[in-house]
Amino acid sequence: MSPSIENSLEQARPVFPFTAIVGQEEMKLALILNVIDPKIGGVMIMGDRGTGKSTTVRALVDLLPEIEVVADDPFNSDPKDPELMSQEVRQRLQKQEALPIVNKKITMVDLPLGATEDRVCGTIDIEKALTEGVKAFEPGLLAKANRGILYVDEVNLLDDHLVDVLLDSAASGWNTVEREGISISHPARFILVGSGNPEEGELRPQLLDRFGMHAQIGTVKEPNLRVQIVEQRADFDAAPVEFRKSYQDSQDLLSTQIIAARKLLPEVQIDYDFRVKISQICSELDVDGLRGDLVTNRASKALAAFEGHTTVTPEDIYRIIPLCLRHRLRKDPLESIDSGDKVRDIFKRVFGYSS
C-alpha cells in the first residue's frame, strides 16, 4: 500500500476525542506535558487491561497541530532546523536547492511486540552499497517516528535490548545503523510512550528510570462514571462523526492551549530555592542519578506553561512530582505506603505545603 493511500485511510478513521475521555487524569496530564516539552523523556503508563491507554494516546495525536516537513522525505525532516534534517536534505540545502515543503499531521507509530531490530532501526543494503558505491538505507520505524510519537504497547514484554535501543534514540534524538563498516545516522527525535499491565511483569529498574514520567491508571470504580464511559463508547461507535462534532469546541480549546504552552515554555522560570528543594526531595528518597531532578524541573515548567504562567509555583511541582519520581524509588516489599503518596508526604514537609 502506498504511503499516500495509507495516510488517507488513517485520516478517514475517526478518532475518539481526547476531551471526551473520562478520568485517567494522571495519564492525560503526563502525555500533554511531554507534548509541550518532548525533552521530559516520554511516559510509561502502567495499568489494567481495557483502561483506555492506546485510545488516549491516539486521541492526543489527533489534537496536535500539523508540522512542516520536506516532501517525499522518509524522516519527516524539518525544512528549517538542521538538527531535525536527514543527511540528504542537509546536502540539498548546501547545494542551495529549493526544498518542496508540505504540511502533515504529527505521526504516531505503533511498534509491534514482535518487531526485530532491523524493522525498528532500519537496514543497510550491503550488496548495493558495495556494487554501486551508495549508502542504500531502508528506513525503519524510528525514521517514521521522527518528530512524532512512538507508542509501544506492552513494553514490559519487549526484549530488553530493543527497549535499550528505543531509549537511547529517544534520549539522543538520533538513530545510527552500522553494518560491515558502513554507518548511517538520521534524526529520531520522538516522544516515547510505553504502556503495560503490571500483572505481566515490570520493566527492569534501569530501563524504567529512563522514562521521564510514570503514570499509574486503574479501572474506574464509580458506577456512574462506568455507565458514562460505556454510553460514550456506544454513541461514538454508532455515529463517530456526530460524536466528534459535539466535542469540537473543547478539542479546539485544548489544542490552542497546548500550542500556546509550547510557545510560552522558553519564558518559564523556576525559583532557585524550589530547585534546591526538588533536589533535597530526590536525595531524601535515595533517587539514583540526576534524572529525577531534571525531569521534575522540566515537567513543572511545562505545567506552568500549560496553565499560562511564567513562574513555577509549589502547586505545579506538587501535581507532577509523583509522576516524575515514583518509578525511581527503591521498592521495599515490607512498606505498605504507595510510592506516589510517599513522594507527596516528603514534598509537603520540605515545601511546608498543605494541599
CA distance 111 to 151: 6
Residue 97 sits at φ, ψ, to 5 deg, of -75, 150
Residue 302, number of CB atoms within 10 A of its CB: 28
How many Cα neighbours within 13 Å face the side chain of 263?
A: 7
Cα 50 to chain center, whole Å? Answer: 20
Amino acid code (one letter) for 17: P
Neighbours of 260 (CB within 10 A): 14
Eight-class DSSP state of 269: B
Dihedral angle of Cα 234, 153, 304, 210, to the nearest 10 degrees: 170
Q: Which three cell numbers stand for residue 239?
A: 455515529
- Considering only the C-alpha atoms of the chain, give the largest distance between any 2 of them, rounded to a whole number of Å: 70
- The alpha carbon of 59 is separated from its chain's Cα centroid by a whole number of angstroms, namely 13
To the query of whether residue 291 is one of the catalytic residues in this protein, the response is yes
Catalytic choice (189, 210, 291, 344) = 291
Measured CA to CA, the distance from residue 159 to residue 68 in angstroms comes to 34
Q: Which long-range contacts does 303-307 make (Cβ < 8 Å, 24+ apart)?
A: 303/29, 303/33, 304/268, 304/270, 305/36, 305/37, 305/261, 305/262, 305/264, 305/265, 305/268, 306/32, 306/33, 306/36, 306/257, 306/258, 306/261
Instruction: Tell how strand 101-105 and strand 66-70 pair up.
Output: antiparallel
- H/E stretch holding 104 reads strand 101-105
Active site residues: 291
